[in-house]
């Protein structure tokens, strides 16, 4: 467990030492992603930040706030709908193009690629190969659970809840698979605890049918109590920056320059290591033991199956989009 004081100490050291980092944010126009983006912009020196979002005009107040908090940050908003696969590829190409051009014109600093994504976005085909120290962050919903490996797309048996739990399990397995071929990248799948982003309020508000009445009750009488114990988006964001920068989370194979780029550990905080290369963290950034079903899936090689299925969906979607 890492307490918030240590997180702040680490982020303070990060502020004094980093320069010229590159970060990509997806799903950062509200909630946990936005909290992390704001904290990153505040603490990074002359960063280049790519923000993928659905509406640049809706994001204008956020972009203004980021520019005010760090006048040296270069902000690139890429307006796109990332639930369309062809848009993900297009956005990745745009980032690669802009970065290649930028680096040709300037001496590159050693960048960290930060990618906190609340979406079920998978890296582009083929998985990214990143020579410099890099990290990929993704919020996690509770623990992994049993999934139907013969119906990974939930075609035969769909429900919102199944989609959520299947997404969690598949993301962990996919990260572990990706870590095998990208050992110099740190993958982090983190359960953020209950963060007061308004997401539960929206979910309860939009519930219809039989569940509408219990949802309204929960919204008016239970949620306000839960909110008193929730983590703020600012604190979730501080932890996001810590995950992306601290020496606590080494990749399977530290690339050249990793030690110099990672923020040294505050006193009393220890490096942890994960033999799969993909960290599964709890709310206080502690490593969480693998649940039995995950151990079994690893032994059965389910990760390979999940990743193959993901790529197949990807190819199919791209073929359809012409
Ligand atoms: N909050 C919690 O307590 C909690 C706990 C455990 C796990 N999580 C997980 O953490 C993640 C983030 O949660 P949150 O509470 O921060 O959610 P949120 O406030 O609803 O933020 C979601 C973000 O994703 C973006 N987004 C959604 N669909 C998109 C699409 N199709 N294309 C582009 N952007 C899209 C939204 O953009 P727009 O601004 O355009 O809508 C927004 O920036 C979720 O996966 C959630 O399940 C949250």
Write down the pLDDT at residue 107.
54
Work out the mean pLDDT of the chain and round it to a whole number. Answer: 90
**123 close to ligand 1 (CB < 6 Angstrom):** no
Name the band, by pLDDT with cuts 50, 70 and 90, for residue 301.
Answer: very high
Name the band, by pLDDT with cuts 50, 70 and 90, for residue 149.
Answer: very high
Please list the residues that pair with 138 across neighbouring strands: 189
Nearest Cα residue to atom 25 of ligand 1:
27
Q: Residues in the chain, how many?
A: 322
Whole-number Cα distances in Å, 305 to 40, 175, 298: 35, 13, 11
Mean pLDDT in residue range 142-169:
93
Q: Is residue 9 within 8 Å of 39, Cβ to Cβ? A: no
Q: How buried is 303 (Cβ within 10 angstroms: 0-12 exposed, 13-18 middle, 19+ buried)?
A: buried
Write down the pLDDT at residue 135.
81
How many C-beta neighbours within 10 Å does residue 265 have?
Answer: 17
pLDDT digits (tens, 9 = 90+) for 99-148: 999 888 875 554 455 555 543 334 444 444 444 567 888 877 778 999 99
Sole residue written with tokens 């942890």: 272
**62 close to ligand 1 (CB < 6 Angstrom):** no
Q: What are the start-end ranges of the H helices in the chain?
A: 4-17, 31-43, 60-69, 85-105, 160-181, 199-205, 212-217, 223-228, 233-245, 258-261, 292-300, 302-320
List the domains of the chain with CATH numbers: 4-195+232-320 (3.40.50.720), 196-230 (no CATH)
Write down the pLDDT at residue 140.
77
Among left, alpha and beta (phi > 0; psi -120 to 50; other), residue 209 is: left
Residue 140 CA to ligand 1 center (angstroms) comes to 11
**165 close to ligand 1 (CB < 6 Angstrom):** no
Q: Say if strands 134-139 and 185-190 run parallel, antiparallel, or are unpaired.
A: parallel
Q: Which strands sit side by side in the sheet containing 22-26, from one edge to the other?
A: 74-79, 48-53, 22-26, 113-114, 134-139, 185-190, 278-281
Residue 202 CA to ligand 1 center (angstroms) comes to 11
CA dihedral 191, 275, 92, 199 (to 10 degrees): 0
CA distance linking residue 228 with residue 191, whole number of Å = 19
pLDDT digits (tens, 9 = 90+) for 225-275: 999 999 999 999 999 999 999 999 999 999 999 999 999 999 999 999 899
Ligand 1, residues 30, 143, 203, 280: which to mutate, most atoms within 8 A of Cβ? 30
Write down the pLDDT at residue 141.
75
**31 close to ligand 1 (CB < 6 Angstrom):** yes
Write down the pLDDT at residue 249.
96
Q: Is residue 185 within 8 Å of 24, Cβ to Cβ? A: no
Write down the pLDDT at residue 125.
45
- Ligand 1 atom nearest 82 alpha carbon: 32
Residue 117 CA to ligand 1 center (angstroms) comes to 8
End-to-end alpha carbon distance in the chain: 48
Give the list of residues 6+ apart from residue 211 with CB closer than 8 angstroms, or none: none
Residue 95 CA to ligand 1 center (angstroms) comes to 22
């Amino acid at each position: 467990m890492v307490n918030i004081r240590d997180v702040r100490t680490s982020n303070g050291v990060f502020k004094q030492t980093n320069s010229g980092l590159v970060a990509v944010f997806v799903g950062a126009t509200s909630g946990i992603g936005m909290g992390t983006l704001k904290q990153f912009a505040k603490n990074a020196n002359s960063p280049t930040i790519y923000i993928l979002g659905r509406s640049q005009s809706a994001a204008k107040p956020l972009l203004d706030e980021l520019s005010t908090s760090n006048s040296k940050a270069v902000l690139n908003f890429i307006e796109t709908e990332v639930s369309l696969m062809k848009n993900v590829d297009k956005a990745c190409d745009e980032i690669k193009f802009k970065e290649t051009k930028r680096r040709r014109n300037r001496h590159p600093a050693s960048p960290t690629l930060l990618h906190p994504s609340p979406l079920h976005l998978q890296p582009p085909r083929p998985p990214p190969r990143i020579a410099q120290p890099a990290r990929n962050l993704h919020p996690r919903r509770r623990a992994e659970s049993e999934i139907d490996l013969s119906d990974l797309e939930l075609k035969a048996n769909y429900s919102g809840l199944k989609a959520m739990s299947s997404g969690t399990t598949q993301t962990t397995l996919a990260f572990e698979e990706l870590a095998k071929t990208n050992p110099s990248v740190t993958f982090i799948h983190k359960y953020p605890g209950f963060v007061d982003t308004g997401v539960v309020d929206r979910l309860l508000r939009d519930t219809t049918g039989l569940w509408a009445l219990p949802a309204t009750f929960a919204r008016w009488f239970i949620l306000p109590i839960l909110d008193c114990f929730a983590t703020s988006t600012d604190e979730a964001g501080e932890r996001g920056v810590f995950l992306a920068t601290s020496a606590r989370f080494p990749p399977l194979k530290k690339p050249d320059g990793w030690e110099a780029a990672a923020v040294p550990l505050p006193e009393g905080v220890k490096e942890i290591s994960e033999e799969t290369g993909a960290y599964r963290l709890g709310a206080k950034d502690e490593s969480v033991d693998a649940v039995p079903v995950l151990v079994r899936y690893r032994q059965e090689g389910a990760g390979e199956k999940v990743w193959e299925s993901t790529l197949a969906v990807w190819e199919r979607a791209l073929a359809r989009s012409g």
